Chain A
Amino acid sequence: AQSVTQPDIHITVSEGASLELRCNYSYGATPYLFWYVQSPGQGLQLLLKYFSGDTLVQGIKGFEAEFKRSQSSFNLRKPSVHWSDAAEYFCAVGAHNAGKSTFGDGTTLTVKP
């Protein structure tokens, strides 16, 4: 069975600082990997996805993530955080025709002015 772990429940960074949110997955084959963002009281929005090919993927809002098969990780990064990035971030893993995706428990990002 597939699983996703987001080790950090809550992260606080200063505005303008760099950000890295960790995601580790467990899956027997090559996974599809996703990052979503959720602002308070809203639905989730897809930030980026990895299916195959280049292991560094670019997403919306200046985010990127790198797939590292040897570490079973798909960490999300942003070089300079803006106050509007404060939100809940979810990592998810899926696979083609292999059932539903599995979501991590989320990481809450707080941005200090």
Chain B
Amino acid sequence: SQTIHQWPATLVQPVGSPLSLECTVEGTSNPNLYWYRQAAGRGLQLLFYSVGIGQISSEVPQNLSASRPQDRQFILSSKKLLLSDSGFYLCAWSAGQGYEQYFGPGTRLTVT
């Protein structure tokens, strides 16, 4: 069966520090991968999605970047965090475009 992992679960970082969140998927090949952010009490904001290694689509201009160095690995990064980067970050995968998505447990990021 397929499994999706995210780490860390919780992170507190000072403004201006770098960020690296990692997401890995097991049990499937060539998944579509997604990064979402959820602000407190708000819906999902799609940040990036990827249909293959090295193929990244950015949905909104922002302080973040994403990379997909391996088929089942998706990394969210920032060189310098802003207070507005705080939120709940969710990684997800799907078997193809438009299909149902399976979500990881999320990372709670607090920028202080």
Report the minimum CB–CB distance from A49 to chain B (whole Å): 5
Asked if A98 contacts B98 (CB within 8 A), the reply is yes
In the complex with contacts A96-B97, A100-B34, A105-B43 CB distance below 8 A: yes
For the residues of A in contact with B, the DSSP-based class is loop
CA distance A99 to B94 in the complex (A): 11
CA distance A38 to B9 in the complex (A): 16
CA distance A49 to B97 in the complex (A): 15
Report the minimum CB–CB distance from B92 to chain A (whole Å): 8
When each residue 85-108 of chain B gets 1 if its CB lies under 8 Å from chain A and 0 otherwise, what string results?
000101010101111111111101
Asked if A41 contacts B108 (CB within 8 A), the reply is yes
Report the minimum CB–CB distance from A104 to chain B (whole Å): 7
When the two chains form the complex, which single residue of A32, A43, A96 contacts B103, counting CB atoms closer than 8 Å? A43
List 17 extra interface pairs beyond A94-B98, A96-B98, A100-B98, CB under 8 A: A32-B98, A36-B103, A42-B105, A42-B106, A43-B92, A44-B92, A44-B101, A45-B103, A49-B100, A90-B44, A95-B98, A97-B96, A99-B97, A101-B94, A104-B43, A105-B43, A106-B43
Can you report 14 A-B residue pairs in the complex whose CB atoms are below 8 A from each other?
A34-B101, A42-B105, A42-B106, A45-B103, A46-B101, A94-B97, A96-B98, A97-B96, A97-B97, A98-B98, A99-B97, A100-B97, A105-B42, A106-B44
Which 3 residue pairs across A and B have the least CB separation, nearest first?
A94-B98, A43-B103, A105-B43
